[in-house]
Amino acid sequence: MKMKLSVLHAAILAAMLATSASPVQAGLPFLNSDKTEMPTLAPMLEKATPSVVHISVEGSREARQRIPEAFRDFFGQRGQGEQRQEQPFSGLGSGVIIDADKGYIVTNNHVVQDADKILIKLKDGRSFTAKKLGADPQSDIALLQIEAKNLVQIPLANSDKLRVGDYAIAIGNPFGLEQTVTSGIVSSLGRSGLNMDGFEDFIQTDAAINRGNSGGALVNLRGELIGINTAILGPNGGNVGIGFSIPSNMMKNLVDQIIEFGEIRRGSLGVRGGDVNSELTEALNLKVSRGAFVNEVLPDTAAATAGIKAGDVIISMNGNAIQSFNELRAKIATLGAGQKTELGLLRDGKERKVSVTLQELASGQVAANELHPMLQGATLNNSDKGVEITELAGGSVAEQVGLRQGDIITGVNRQRVANLAELRRILEGRQGVAALYIRRTNDDLYILLR
């Protein structure tokens, strides 16, 4: 009886039978246990799928409604054009267990943002309430933790070694359909431009990714994590064969910072520039068509210290090719402050390498409700005097308890606070009243969080 194989399986079978073909990266094929020589991904997936979890969230978000001029007096909004209300929401997504012993789960920030309750459901049917340890909205990564035994973690691959054409398998819960698996290939690398304010270095894949896949796993044929699925590009939010994943190396760099510091400490190179294009190549007689062109090196920065100059083209980072300025920006920012990296440069037609120790980018804001529910509506950032409230939503819980934009938290319950990591450690799991010691302009005061 003849069997109709999918395009992927047919390609796998051809690769197995062609004696002159070089082996693919994942060492195909996976065979059935009965040795029938039928290519299958089932043995790999049986090991990988228990590490992918279903996430459901509940919470509330501030909704703004435009009020017609004639009705503003009725709402007490004279002179204002909108009314703000808290509205409940719920949502679904996916996550990946990266540390079974500590219960660490990675997902997308947009899956759990503003969530008051995060419920994790494992493949074996067990359910747990998760705690959010930290998040980075600009790269769309969040780290959760559950207290559970007998978890299965996924091994991490080196995503810098990916090539266009490598097989890719997406595992997640699209539309709430738990443990759904789709297959495809890596369509492109170093994609950016979906969110101009974010740090993007996406893996593009044609493995079907739909709503609910967010935060799920993209794996290679060994069952190793190569990416965290995060976005789709298509009409009405449906799959058209263009999906995007955050590379596993980028995810790990961010998660390691959250675990160590309680926040993201972005790396900074200190250059301004743009992509290498055909016009630039012709004008400067460059020998490359891809890379990050350096227009300006800022003084007293990591780039200046390393000897990088305006006119240089950065073509590699730690031996891996750099395709664009956005790719360089994302890799530098997510690698982290204080980290060392080797950059490959093209200067005056000659290649050279420089070692750079990254400085810290003045960023790293976090939503304060991640630390305490009474801080909802405030955004915190490290300052040289403590933890500063850099933004405060009008009418928010944080404003109602007496906090103001520009306040600096310098202590909690007579314990000194120098940064976000210390504030998180003090507030984490605390019962009862937390007394914040606040510096406001030239005044000192206490604000109680109950």
The residues that are catalytic are 110, 140, 214
SS (H, E, C) the chain: CCCCCCHHHHHHHHHHHCCCCCCCCCCCCCECCCCCCCECCHHHHHHHHHHEEEEEEEEEEEEEEECCHHHCCCCCCCCCCEEEEEEEEEEEEEEEEEECCCCEEEECHHHHCCEEEEEEECCCCCEEECEEEEEECCCCEEEEECCCCCCCCCCECCHHHCCCCCEEEEEECHHHCCCEEEEEEEEEEEECCCCCCCCCCEEEECCCCCCCCCCCEEECCCCCEEEEEEEECCHHHCCCCCEEEEEHHHHHHHHHHHHHHCCCCCEECCEEEEECCHHHHHHHCCCCCCCEEEEEECCCCHHHHHCCCCCCEEEEECCEECCCHHHHHHHHHHHCCCCEEEEEEEECCEEEEEEEECEECCCCCEEHHHCCHHHCCEEEEEECCEEEEEEECCCCHHHHCCCCCCCEEEEECCEECCCHHHHHHHHCCCCCCEEEEEEECCEEEEEEEC
